[in-house]
Amino acid sequence: MERYSDAHLQSLTQALANAMTSGQNMLVTAESCTGGWLAKCCTDRAGSSAWFLYGIVSYSNHAKQRFLNVSPRTLSTFGAVSEQTAAEMAAGALAEPEATISVAITGIAGPTGGSPEKPVGMVCFAWADRTGTVTTATHHFAGNRDEVRRAAVATAIEGLLKTGNMTTGH
């Protein structure tokens, strides 16, 4: 999966750093299946403290509720892997007053844990900003656990770059 190589993730992250700093934005990440990989990509860049506040790894439902204010009802109705949960994770990540944009990732990286309704490789995303705009998407990635997670990180960054809100500032 050449597209999701370390070099590709580094290139995407550099583009994100450029966009975030030019718009005076501060990013918060809320990750589940990627386990903080997106936050790692961000903090691999020198100077990322100018645009990256923090990342929350909310792997359990309890953590999603406690740290990101995801509703127990949302989790019981739609499940942890759903656009609804991702949207609440992204909104919860914006609780920090300095944060201007957030991204949430929740999915099933495998190799186990999938079902016919939610197969391995299904990842839900949400991007949110201070204007109240929340965009969600679901992708189905092929490959092993590492490949699914890499694809999810790349997709999250690509979504941030497409939000069009990079120049809104604080």
- Model pLDDT for residues 55-110, shown as the tens digit of each residue: 999 999 999 999 999 999 999 999 999 999 999 999 999 998 999 999 999 999 99
Q: Are 33 and 111 in contact (CB under 8 A)?
A: no
Q: Which helix (H) or strand (E) holds 122?
A: strand 122-129
54 DSSP β-pair partners: 28
Q: Per-domain residue ranges for the chain? A: 2-162
**Which pLDDT value is given to residue 164?**
57
Sign of CA dihedral 91, 54, 16, 12: negative
Quote the pTM value.
0.94
Q: Are 90 and 30 in contact (CB under 8 A)?
A: yes
**Which pLDDT value is given to residue 24?**
87
Report the mean per-residue pLDDT for the chain: 94
165, pLDDT greater than 70: no
The CATH superfamily of 2-162 is: CinA-like (3.90.950.20)
55 DSSP β-pair partners: 29
CA 33 to chain centre: 10
